[in-house]
Amino acid sequence: MTVVTASAKQIPYRCGLESDQAETSRVTSVRGGHGFQLTASSPALQPCELPALTPGADQVIVQVAGCGVCHTDIGFAFDGVPTRHPLPLVLGHEISGRVVAAGENAAAWLGRSVIVPAVIPCGSCPACRAGRATICRQQFMPGNDGDGGFATHVLVPCRGLCAVPESLPSGLTLGMLSVVADTVTTPYEAIRRAEVGAEDVAVIVGVGGIGGFAVQIAAAWGAAVAAIDVDRERLELAGRNGAGLLLDASSTDLKGLKAALRTFIKESGRQNIGLKIFEMSGTPTGQTTAFGLLDHGAYLAVVGFTPKPVEIRLSNLMAFDATARGNWGCPPDHYPAALRLVLNGKVALAPFLELRPLNEAPAILEAVRNHSLRRRVILQPNHGNGSTGREGAP
């Protein structure tokens, strides 16, 4: 049984929210949580009991409603990508839930539904002060720098938490919104940086995972969207959610892709110079294709990750006077705008998601590794009725 310990105390309200309450019940610790951790001895996740969690002054404890399974987790578990925190470690960085415990400076978050940023910057280093929060060297990433969301509860900084309305549109749940913490906000940031607008043609290379949401975001911002993939089912889903041109790269070579895009540009009537290309596949073939699509004045956003080398002619950037840029996640400041696209129905989540219980975490990671699941999986703990008790302390 999970036990939440609380005490009554007057608390100042800081760390991102305001409150006119003079007194509240300060929750001081959470005990009895559990999850699944990666160990040094096996790539398979192992069940674990969480230690007693006590938030520091600027920390909160979130009761997890959902945690998305990302290919970054696969990299940690199976591909030899090291976590920054030593193993054992609870993975998972796409987290939504409710704040059930809060430190003194974070008390205004108590009881609130939130999305936890996948990358939480420190807010005070030179990079943060320069507006480059995503390259903060003191950043905290759940499931990398500390225990993450493949658990019933997670302890995180309150910096950058994204508040979620208590009343959600029909078909949306707090658990589903966990994917906003990376799968939605990362392509959102790439598209924002590219300044995509109504006169642009946006080309999404790889429309599974983050790519499916990139299609919707670019379309929501008015662009004519072309989707490229090797999976017909994913292409058809993209076509139902904003893509105006579907290109199967398994049966069309680079020359054919370019010809189809030239026709699409002409028929769309868009006037901006240069394609806005977004590499979302995280595969060597996809990245080679994306680079090969560069035209005069093009913008290439590299969002997908692969540890494998890719051979390209870098001088094409010079020859086409083109731009290439990567992005590591999204600054928390932009989470509310990305969330509004979801809440306003501009970005659909349900067709791209699959909800599974947390206790299936080891099998789910194996399935994601083997590409046997069609949708983004969200792991959901079974908190159950009466599974959380509160003990009052004077």
CB of 8 within 8 A of CB of 25?
A: yes
Q: Tell me if residue 323 falls in helix, strand or coil.
A: strand
Q: Is 213 helix (H, G, I), strand (E, B) or coil?
A: helix
Looking at residue 191, the DSSP 8-state letter turns out to be H
- Please tell me the distance from the alpha carbon of residue 25 to that of residue 386, in angstroms, as a whole number: 19
Boundaries of every domain in the chain = 2-182+330-393, 186-326
Dihedral, 194, 197, 202, 204 alpha carbons, nearest 10: 70
- Spatial CA neighbour of 277 closest among 234, 227, 318: 227
The whole-number pLDDT of residue 7 equals 53
Strand 42-49 relative to strand 2-9: parallel, antiparallel, unpaired? unpaired
Return the closest-CA partner of residue 157 out of 95, 226, 212.
95
Peptide bond just before 88 cis, omega within 30 deg:
yes
User: pTM, whole model, 2 decimals?
Assistant: 0.91
Instruction: For 95, list phi and psi in degrees, rounded to 5.
Output: -125, 135
Residue 11's pLDDT is 35
Question: Could you report the per-residue pLDDT of 1-43, keeping only the tens digit for each?
Answer: 565 665 544 333 334 444 333 344 566 789 999 999 999 988 8
Which stretches of the chain score pLDDT less than 70? 1-27, 385-394
The per-residue pLDDT for range 224-250, each reduced to its tens digit, is 999 999 999 999 999 999 999 999 999
pLDDT for res 46: 97
Contacts of 121 (CB under 8 A, 6+ apart): 127, 128, 133, 134, 136, 138, 139, 159, 160, 331, 332
How far apart, in whole angstroms, are the C-alpha atoms of residue 194 and residue 230? 25
Residue 276: strand, helix, or coil: strand
* The predicted structure's pLDDT at residue 117: 98
Which residues touch 207 (CB under 8 Å, ≥6 apart)?
214, 215, 227, 228, 229, 234, 235, 237, 238, 243, 280
pLDDT score at 171: 95
In terms of Cα–Cα distance, which of 49, 50, 63, 67 is closest to 360? Answer: 67
At the topology level, CATH places domain 2-182+330-393 in: Quinone Oxidoreductase; Chain A, domain 1 (3.90.180)
What lies within 8 Å, CB to CB, of 11 at 6+ separation is: 23, 24, 26, 104, 107
Return the CATH number of the domain spanning residue range 186-326: 3.40.50.720
Distance between CA atoms of residues 64 and 54, nearest Å? 16
Cβ atoms of 220 and 244 within 8 Å: the answer is no
Q: State which amino acid sits at residue 155.
A: L
What pLDDT, on a 0 to 100 scale, did the predictor assign at position 25? 53
